[in-house]
């Protein structure tokens, strides 16, 4: 949403008011559907449907797909049945499904009534699959070829049917709906001879996914193999749809955002920031804040339990924030790294021993450096510079020993929890910073008071 | 890296030892290059080059591209000059550049010597562009058409030259290297008449990027517009290369990983987790840990400054961890949300007032709920259940007031810092949790002791 977009919405509103429809149309046809959608987003509600009607049919449908669900709903409500049918006829089935999934029941009913029978059947079929599954992400509009076609036949078929297909560049070879192989348009165009059979040039080692495969896994596969599309087959190996790279890109973005939100201690949200009301933000943020506030009771209890020790050596209190923060940071470094590696399929549960061994060695290095630096800092800054009399070398030793142990414990907790979470079928991201911070806080305080009691005899 | 891959590496090693090369070859040709690369990754060093030589030429090159830089280097060193030349001849220029960028100087020299003169020139041209720019990401191998070609001419040209191009599906129309428009293979195949001119069917509103555009922006554009490829032009509007969707997907993944690492308080790393040594992990993690340990001196100083107050009311100490953690969590919720929105281009700096207003209202809601819940918790758990005598309603009030103010301050700091960072040209992710935690810790302690001094008269 750049500044340009902003002013263009105002310009369109002025032009609409002045009824300069031809001028608007001239500008609109030069624009990309995503950009038109962004401008409509910024317009006032009453001008928007008018502007939409000025778009050529195909561009209108493509723009419609790019709009926010709220605006789509608004538009559908302003459509006549004929207008709705016109837009639907131009949509790809998977886009139509995406829209249907976001609409309230009465709007869905209108959409299904306006769709032609075949599209209605296909929408209903895709809707059967669970959210976030390959089946719900796929489109049923692909080019299928028969193995006994010649290259020339295949090109003719693509020319005849291609206009309604989401991608024509990867064609699937089927017999009785069984997926036998794939042929790209590049293979067809570069084939040495037009009379060759599709079965002669097709790739038979086809990588496919099941309708129930998780969308994140599908997206990771498309990204790993650099495919334009991935076929989706049912349990009998019959081709039921394809998933294209653009949908995979959206999934990758969504899943990364979701991981980041969960790691930041929020329940994930579908809305963009500027579309979220404070109430939306509040709802996604308050659960973890409440949970963590209550769980901090433990840390409070630990401190209360050592109240007498603290009263005897008040100087110890001053180092509590540093110990807790460093522990929390060390732990979230490990957990965040592991969570991301799990998302990218770089790690499996059986790597756990290797991971723990890695983290232990890293923690020993980091703990030693931090403890040494901390000792120097305490003696120079806290003792010499600030003249804090309570700070003795023995106190500094207690703090630094605690620091080293805390870093070690934090890193081991930080790498272990996400891997167990994944193993048990939870989202590993839930185990990120806020949760680990609380666990590490408690451990670091226990270690602190334990070492202090032993060394300072309090 | 699934279990299947693991055992396959062992199988290949056994087959290599038994010299069953035909069996290996039969298995290899059924595999996708990414998967072959993963298997090689798991093999012992000495078997790997042998296995590589069993691959057919084209598959060998595609596998080579998918391998880790360490293994590529190992392979190149084992290649004869002829073998190196054979692999290079099959590579796309942008993949060759990626490899060159990762190799030590002596290997680069060998690669450039083995490359044919045109490829050498193109590699050198792309190497001139700064890392992470569109210029360094692009490939110079695209299909270009002239505007006065007929559709039939264009298809003939694609058939003749397409085999060496990274994508043939989007062709660029140029005159004197100036980018005039684009034509897709779909447009060409579906054109009603083979004698139509390319200039009649080409799309003239071409969205392009400059050679210096940041790669994250390029990837976001490809994802937003669902393009297969995006043309890269120089300052004179001349076409110099294209960026394809598969590279954009990799960039999206990398940039998300980088943001997550920085938000987790680490310097970003190119290596996957399992390829990182403890020393690598240590280097990426210790800077922030040291910095944050030292900056925690401020929180320590604040506590030392109020040592007498704490000695008088030791009960106050018990709530310090809860206040600091809740403040830190509230702040990182906001900062993480804003950082992600900035990465996805959903927010601009001029949205700052709107963002702050949003966060203030969210903070008031969250602060009120948290403070109320906290008051109830303190009176029930800490006072009644645990019988802590120091806990009075007035102490509970001090804690809850501090909590509400801290949440407000944390959310405002959390949303503001990343936006200013971006405005000043820094990476907003640097402003995430660890940094904000320290800032919020200091503020929350000052507020705590301020309110405590005022209300408890200590």
Contacts of A359 in chain B (CB under 8 A): 281
Fill in the DSSP letter of residue B47. H
Q: How far apart are the two ends of chain A, measured CA to CA in Å?
A: 61
Q: Which of residues 431-450 of A touch B (CB under 8 A)?
A: 433-434, 437-438, 441, 445
Q: Burial of A86 by CB count in 10 Å (0-12 exposed, 13-18 middle, 19+ buried)?
A: middle
Measured between CA atoms, the residue of chain B closest to residue A288 is: B329
Report pLDDT for B6: 53
pLDDT at A432: 65
Least Cα distance to B140 among B121, B159, B117 occurs for: B121
CA-based radius of gyration for chain B: 30
- Token pair, residue A356, equals 């723990």
Tokens of B28: 């290899």
Asked if B189 has any chain A CB less than 8 Å from its own CB, the reply is yes
Distance, in Å, from the CA atom of B180 to the CA atom of B238, rounded to the nearest integer, reads 9
B177 φψ region: left (φ > 0), alpha (ψ -120 to 50), beta (else): left
Beta bridge partners of A182: A172, A203
Spatial neighbors of A239 by CB under 8 A, at least 6 apart, are A142, A144, A172, A174, A177, A178, A179, A208, A231, A232, A233
Does one domain contain both A227 and A284? no
- Give contacts of A285 with chain B, Cβ < 8 Å: 330, 333, 362, 366
Query: Six-digit token pair at A114?
Result: 């306006």
CB A203 within 8 A of CB A182: yes
Of B128, B148, B179, the residue at which a domain comes to its end is B128
The CATH number given to whatever domain includes residue B422 is 1.10.357.20
Q: Give me the total of CB pairs closer than 8 Å, taking one residue from chain A and one from chain B.
A: 369
A313 to chain B, any CB pair closer than 8 A? The answer is no
Whether A289 and A316 share a structural domain: yes
pLDDT at residue number B3: 43
A261 within domain boundaries: no
Give the global pTM: 0.79
Summarised one tens digit per residue, pLDDT across range B400-416 is 999 999 999 999 999 99
**How far is C-alpha A172 from the chain's CA centre?**
29
Chain A CA closest to residue B277: A358
Distances (CA, A) of A97 to A115, B147, B381: 12, 39, 50
Nearest to B322 among A30, A293, A335 (CB): A293
Residue A428 DSSP one-character state: G
Per-residue pLDDT of chain B (458 residues; tens, 9 = 90+): 344 445 688 888 888 888 888 888 888 888 888 889 988 888 887 888 888 989 988 888 889 988 888 889 888 988 888 888 888 888 888 888 888 888 888 888 888 888 888 888 888 888 888 888 999 899 888 999 999 999 999 999 998 888 778 888 999 999 999 999 999 999 999 898 889 999 999 999 899 999 999 999 999 999 888 899 999 999 888 999 999 999 999 899 888 888 888 888 788 887 888 888 888 888 888 888 888 888 888 888 888 888 887 877 878 888 888 898 888 889 888 988 898 888 888 888 899 999 999 999 999 999 999 999 999 999 988 888 877 778 889 999 999 999 999 999 999 999 999 999 888 888 887 766 667 877 888 889 999 999 998 998 87
Counting Cα atoms < 13 Å in the Cβ hemisphere of B382 gives 31
- From residue B205, alpha-carbon distances to A27, A210, B202, B218, B420 in Å are 11, 39, 9, 17, 34
> In chain A, what residues touch B260 (CB-CB under 8 Å)?
256, 259-260, 263, 336, 339-340
Residue A427's contacts (CB-CB under 8 Å, 6 or more residues apart) are: A262, A421
The pLDDT value recorded for residue B124 is 83
Q: Could you tell me if B326 and B237 lie in one domain?
A: no
Using a CB-CB cut-off of 8 Å, the residues of chain B touching A344 are 253, 257, 272
Nearest CB neighbour to A253, from listed B252, B317, B407: B252
Residue B266 within any structural domain of the chain: no
Structure tokens at A188: 């067809």
* A296 → closest Cβ in B261, B322, B347: B322
Question: Domains in chain B: how many in total?
Answer: 3
Q: B394 touching A, CB under 8 A?
A: no
Q: Which of A190, A225, A274 sits opposite B347 (nearest CB)?
A: A274
Put residue B144 in one of left, alpha, beta given phi > 0 → left and psi -120 to 50 → alpha.
beta
Q: What is the pLDDT of residue B432?
A: 65
Q: 10 Å Cβ neighbour count for B235?
A: 8
Give the 3-state secondary structure of residue A346. Answer: coil
- Report CB contact under 8 Å: A369, B286: yes
Q: Decide if B65 is inside a domain.
A: yes
Between A190, A224, A438, which is nearest B34 by CB? A224
Residue B52 lies in a domain: yes
Contact B317 A303 (CB under 8 A): yes
- Identify the CATH number of the domain in which residue A35 sits: 1.25.60.10
CB B405 within 8 A of CB B419: no
CB contact under 8 A, A314 and B311: yes
Q: Is B70 on the interface with A (CB under 8 A)?
A: no
pLDDT for B87 equals 87
B52 plus B192 within the same structural domain: no
Q: What is residue A382's DSSP assignment?
A: I
CA-based nearest distance A141→chain B, Å? 15
Q: A222 vs B329: CB contact, 8 Å cut-off?
A: no
Phi, psi of A142 (to 5 degrees): -130, 165
Q: Are residues A13 and A49 in the same domain?
A: yes
Q: Which of A98, A114, A132 is the last residue of a domain?
A: A132
In whole angstroms, what is the distance from residue B270 CA to residue B280 CA?
10
Nearest residue of chain A to residue B266 (CA atoms): A333
* Concatenated DSSP letters of B389-422: TT--HHHHHHHHHHHHHHHHHHHHHHHHHHHHHH
Let me know: does A110 contact A100? Beta carbons within 8 Å: no
* Together in a domain, A128 and A141: no
Q: How far apart are CA A203 and CA B196, in angstroms?
A: 33
What is the C-alpha separation between A29 and B251, in angstroms, rounded? 31
Across the interface, whether the CB atoms of A373 and B293 are under 8 A apart is answered: yes
- DSSP code of B238? B
Which pLDDT value is given to residue B5? 46
Beta carbons within 8 Å of B40's beta carbon, 6+ residues apart = B9, B48, B51, B52, B63, B67, B71
Backbone phi, then psi, for B387, in 5-degree steps?
A: 60, 35
Q: Residue B109 has what pLDDT? A: 86
Tokens 């084939």 — which residue?
Answer: A191
Range 204-223 of B in CB contact (< 8 A) with A: 205, 207, 222-223
Query: Is the CB of residue A7 less than 8 Å away from at least one CB of chain B?
Result: no
Residue contact A226–B246, C-beta within 8 A: yes
Q: Chain A residues with CB inside 8 Å of B361's CB?
A: 278
pLDDT tens per residue across all 458 residues of chain A: 344 445 688 888 888 888 888 888 888 888 888 889 988 888 887 888 888 989 988 888 889 988 888 889 888 988 888 888 888 888 888 888 888 888 888 888 888 888 888 888 888 888 888 888 999 889 888 999 999 999 999 999 998 888 778 888 999 999 999 999 999 999 999 898 889 999 999 999 899 999 999 999 999 999 888 899 999 999 888 999 999 999 999 899 888 888 888 888 788 887 888 888 888 889 888 888 888 888 888 888 888 888 887 877 878 888 888 898 888 889 888 988 898 888 888 888 899 999 999 999 999 999 999 999 999 999 988 888 877 778 889 999 999 999 999 999 999 999 999 998 888 888 887 766 667 877 888 889 999 999 998 998 87
Residues B310 and B213 in one domain: no
Q: CA-CA distance, A412 to A274, in Å (whole number)?
A: 38
Range of the domain at B201: 137-260
* pLDDT value, residue B224: 87
Q: What DSSP assignment string belongs to A111-135?
A: HHHHS-HHHHHHHHHHHTSPTTBHH
Which three-class secondary structure state does DSSP give residue A379? helix
Tell me what pLDDT residue B101 has: 84
Residue B121's CB: how many other CB atoms inside 10 A? 12
- With 0-12 / 13-18 / 19 or more C-beta atoms within 10 angstroms meaning exposed / middle / buried, residue B50 is middle
Do B292 and B433 lie in one domain? The reply is yes
Whether B267 maps to a domain, the answer reads no
Interface of B with A in 367-386 (CB under 8 A): 369-370, 373-374, 377, 381-382, 386
CB contact under 8 A, B32 and A329: no
CA count, 13 A, side-chain hemisphere, B78:
15
Contact between chains at B249 and A248 (C-beta distance less than 8 A): yes
Contact between B266 and A337 using a beta-carbon 8 Å cutoff: yes
Domain assignment of residue A289, yes or no:
yes
The answer to whether residue B342 is domain-embedded is yes
d(C-alpha B123, C-alpha B128), whole Å: 9
Of B227, B260, B293, at which residue does a domain stop? B260
pLDDT at position A360, please? Answer: 95
Query: Minimal Cα–Cα distance from B352 to chain A, Å?
Result: 11
| Neighbour-count burial for A162-189, b at 16+ CB within 10 Å, e otherwise | beebbbbbbbbbbeeeebbbbbbbbbbb
Asked whether the beta carbons of A428 and A339 are under 8 A apart, the reply is yes
The tally of CA atoms less than 13 A away on the side-chain side of residue B443 is 23
Q: Cβ of B457: how many Cβ atoms within 10 Å?
A: 8
Nearest to A154 by CA among A140, A138, A139, A169: A169
> Is the complex ipTM more than 0.85?
no
Distance from CA of B329 to the nearest CA of A (A): 7
Q: Are residues A109 and A34 in the same domain?
A: yes
**What DSSP element (H or E) covers B174?**
strand B167-175
The answer to whether residue A260 is domain-embedded is no
Helical (H) or strand (E) element with A81: helix A81-90
For residues B176 and B240, membership in a common domain is answered with: yes
Strand, coil or helix: A232:
strand
- For residue B179, give the CATH number of its domain: 3.10.580.10
Q: What residues does A214 pair with on adjacent strands?
A: A133
The pair of structure tokens assigned to A143 is 């080019």
Q: Do A171 and A64 share a structural domain? A: no
Whether residues A428 and A316 fall in one domain: yes
């Amino acid at each position: 949403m750049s500044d340009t977009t902003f002013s263009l919405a105002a310009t369109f509103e002025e032009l609409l008011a002045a009824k300069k429809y031809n001028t608007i149309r001239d500008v609109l046809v030069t624009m990309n559907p995503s950009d038109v959608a962004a401008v409509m987003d910024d317009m006032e509600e009453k001008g928007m449907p008018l502007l939409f009607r000025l778009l050529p049919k195909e561009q209108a449908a493509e723009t419609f797909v790019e709009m926010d669900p709220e605006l789509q709903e608004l538009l559908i409500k302003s459509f006549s049945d004929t207008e709705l049918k016109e837009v639907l006829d131009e949509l790809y089935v998977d886009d139509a499904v995406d829209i249907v999934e976001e609409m309230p029941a009465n709007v869905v009913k209108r959409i299904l009534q306006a769709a032609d029978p075949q599209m209605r059947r296909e929408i209903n079929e895709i809707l059967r699959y669970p959210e976030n599954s390959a089946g719900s992400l796929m489109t049923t509009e692909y080019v299928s070829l028969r193995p006994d076609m010649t290259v020339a036949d295949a090109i003719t078929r693509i020319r005849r049917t291609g206009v309604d297909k989401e991608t024509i560049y990867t064609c699937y070879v089927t017999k009785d709906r069984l997926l036998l192989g794939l042929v790209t348009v590049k293979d067809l165009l570069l084939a040495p001879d037009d009379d060759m059979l599709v079965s002669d040039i097709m790739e038979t080692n086809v990588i496919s996914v099941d309708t129930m495969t998780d969308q994140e896994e599908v997206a990771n596969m498309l990204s790993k193999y650099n495919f334009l599309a991935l076929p989706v087959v049912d349990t009998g190996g019959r081709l039921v749809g394809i998933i294209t790279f653009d949908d995979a890109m959206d999934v990758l973005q969504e899943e990364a955002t979701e991981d980041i939100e969960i790691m930041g201690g929020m329940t994930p949200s579908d809305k963009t920031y500027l579309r979220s009301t404070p109430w939306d933000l509040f709802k996604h943020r308050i659960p973890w804040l409440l949970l963590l506030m209550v769980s901090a009771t433990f840390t409070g209890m630990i401190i209360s339990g050592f109240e007498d020790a603290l009263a005897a050596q008040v100087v110890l209190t001053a180092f509590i924030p540093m110990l807790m923060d460093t522990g929390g940071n060390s732990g979230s470094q490990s957990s965040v790294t592991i969570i991301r590696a799990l998302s990218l399929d770089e790690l499996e549960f059986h790597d756990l021993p290797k991971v723990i061994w890695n983290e232990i060695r890293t923690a020993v290095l980091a703990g030693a450096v931090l403890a040494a630096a901390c000792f120097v800092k305490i003696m120079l800054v806290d003792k010499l510079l600030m003249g804090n009399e309570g700070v003795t070398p023995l106190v500094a030793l207690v703090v630094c020993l605690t620091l080293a142990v805390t870093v070690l414990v934090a890193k081991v907790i930080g790498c272990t929890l996400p891997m167990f979470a994944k193993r048990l079928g939870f989202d590993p991201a839930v185990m990120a910073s806020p949760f680990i911070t609380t666990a590490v806080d408690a451990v670091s305080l226990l270690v602190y008071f334990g070492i202090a009691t032993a060394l300072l005899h309090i």
